[in-house]
Chain A
Amino acid sequence: MAQSLFNIIVFPGFLFLCLAGVCAEYFDRIFHARMQNRKGPPWFQPVADFIKLSAKEDIIPEEADSFMFRAMPVVAVAATVTSFLYIPLWGSQALFSFEGDVIVVLYLLTIPTMTFFLAGWYSTSLYASVGAVRTITQLFAYEVPLFMAVLAPALLADSWSLSGIAAYYRAHPLYWVFNLPGLAVSLVILLGKLEKVPFDIPEAETEIVGGVFTEYAGRYLAFFRMTIDIEMVVASSLVAAVFLPFGLGFGSVVGFILYLLKVTAVIAAICLLRTIFARLRIDQMVDFCWKYIAPAALLQLLVNIVLKGVLSQ
């Protein structure tokens, strides 16, 4: 019991995730800055931002639904942290696992996006409402390809549990190479999930001010920003666990370093993608997802179905 509580709250649960989120945000920002030939923020900037925001006044608009407005940031953080517990980080065993946790993790990762929608919707301001509608439109566009892309490796591994998938690829060390198209698909989708350029349409600053977060200030905004940071780590870990399951059998120290490297690589890839593209329009985004990303994910699924037949013989 005490062990589980420690795992959930301290390591690798909430506190570890907060730290990892801060580091991820810092890395993302400094790498982004350096690619743009800027200096970038000092190392403590994400923490300083969090402290500054927390110290500010919490403003809840009169028109907004006060309960939902305050509840959404907390729900978002809770959902993201929970999903992390089912992802194997080093080795092939997650902290908790059961048959079918892939679906649960994907579902839990959808919740932050849903909370963004609800937060925007219950803010009732024009910009926030437009942002909320865009969030949900975008969700429909990328969620299906993401499911297909993540379920393809699971299909090959014949397991609906992330730990089971990891165990399968540990047993067959080179099979992850077949999932590379899925990796590309999921990297693109992560941009949408984390609302980064070119898919930062719901909070496009120059178009709709701050999108769903327009009305948010102070602590609640700090919580939302933390959610996005944590989501970045969780989603990168998911991608690393599903698509990059190599080097799992070298003990926990090597495994942990390798895990950090994988997550860093995924975040670096996301950062590179967000640096070199312009923001798409919502209709272009939906078109792009259904025209290119969904068929690519479908292809991955087909490849894995065929492979499964071939390999099982």
Chain B
Amino acid sequence: MSRVTIPLGPQHPALKEPANFSITVAGEKILSTSSRLGYNHRGMEKACEERTYIQDMYLLERICGICSHSHSTAFVQTVEEIAGLDVPRRALYIRTLIGELERIHSHLLWLGVAGHEIGFDTLLMYSWRDREVVMDLLALLCGNRVNYGINTIGGVRRDITAEQIAGALRDMDILEERTRYYIDIATSEPSFIARLAGVGYISREDAVRLQAVGPTGRGSNVAIDIRATDPYAAYGEVDFKVITDSHCDVYGRAVVRLLELMESYRIVRQVLKEMPDGPVTVKAPRKIPAGEAVSRVEAPRGEDVHYVKGNGSDKPERVRVRASTMANIQAVNKMMENNNLADVPIIIAAIDPCFSCTDRCVRVIGGKREDLGWRDLRRHGISWYRKHWGIDFGELNRKLHSLRGER
């Protein structure tokens, strides 16, 4: 049978963000795959060095639209650790609450996307409709539906009222009932199971070796959940189970996410009921002392790691982010072995990828990392494109400026 290499991406209906997977198939069977990232590099880590800590918080929150709270929590935790701030307990509870609401909205979104990838649009429509409940709740608590902006260095920006707690508890009941229905569907609809079961198999050993994190790892029975293994915020004080599944395939990952939703409702209820009184923020200095810290947060997609190095000024010396997709992307090529071309979208979707979070750029020459300033990096980019592609950005910029009006 003849071999054909099919490019999937950078533009493809199954991919919500640009990435490229080259898939060599014989008929419908996949022989080999290779993935390529880097279409959406945004230079965020470098940009952080040019901004103050407060500005960085909002910048890093926008690494990812879905796990925005996880990224900003990870960042403020490192900064608080460097500055030695003692964050009030109420603030930690509110962070936990928003983190779990974010997980609920992300997992419901994933369920819909997974449904869409296997042509089950009805599931997409229903789960996204029900997701509106938690989105509206987030808007009520934080002031917006995405990019909640609840964190600030030394606490949270908004307090929660008794009325809002009652409303949130009501919403949890609605969501729990709906989630039960989706679990019912996922375990009894044969066409849904047929498309997920046995697809994208990755054994526990491979999952550990390839650093799968979050639901991807837990779907292969790797019981690692930062909320339990390295508790942050108020997770040490609430009772919840780490959900794992031994299917090791896409179905296992779906089951993990659905059951995690049920755990999230439990956590949210506990947090709302046991919310301590007190202030929600402590005064944070503008200038953060010199020092460095690492913090880990369990985002809906897996573990987020942030590293911050301060130099005593109001701007960080270095910020490093490892988003969860960066860890999971290695496993995707392994998962695609021995599968069909038709399974590729759902296998990619099963890690809940976020390629823009993942794209990084480091220039290493002869083993030595060369430090480029913001201006140098820009100049390097312009000259690289002129040399390799003959693109003159000066001309383009002039055109853009004339189109937009002066800035």
Contacts and interface: CB of A to CB of B under 8 A. Distances in A.
Interface of A: 35-38, 126-127, 129-130, 133, 197-198, 200-201, 204-209, 275-284
Contacts of B123: 278
B121 A36 contact: yes
Q: Is the interface of B mostly helix, strand, loop or mixed?
A: helix
B194 A280 contact: yes
Contact of A279 (B6, B28, B118, B129): B118
Nearest to B199: A281
Given A198-B119, A201-B342, A278-B118, A206 B191 contact: no
B129 A37 contact: yes
Please give me the 3 A-B residue pairs with the lowest Cβ-Cβ distance, nearest first: A279-B119, A278-B120, A36-B125
Interface residues of B, number: 31
B126 A37 contact: yes
Contacts of B180: none
Contacts of B115: 278
Q: Is the interface of A mostly helix, strand, loop or mixed?
A: helix
Which of B117, B191, B192, B195 is packed against the most chain A CB atoms within 10 Å? B191
A37 B129 CA distance: 9
A126 B125 contact: no
A280 B121 contact: no
Interface in B107-166: 115-123, 125-126, 129
Interface of B: 4, 6-7, 12-14, 27-28, 115-123, 125-126, 129, 189, 191-192, 194-195, 340-345
B122 A281 contact: no
B14 A206 contact: yes
A30 B147 CA distance: 34
Contact of B345 (A36, A38, A206): A206
Nearest to B345: A206
B13 A279 contact: no
A38 B124 CA distance: 12
Given A37-B129, A126-B4, A204-B342, A209 B12 contact: yes
Given A281-B343, A282-B342, A209 B13 contact: yes
A281 B121 contact: no
A127 B12 CA distance: 11
Contact of A207 (B191, B192, B341): B341
Nearest to B343: A281
A122 B123 CA distance: 35
Contact of B194 (A38, A200, A206, A284): A284
Contacts of A275: 122
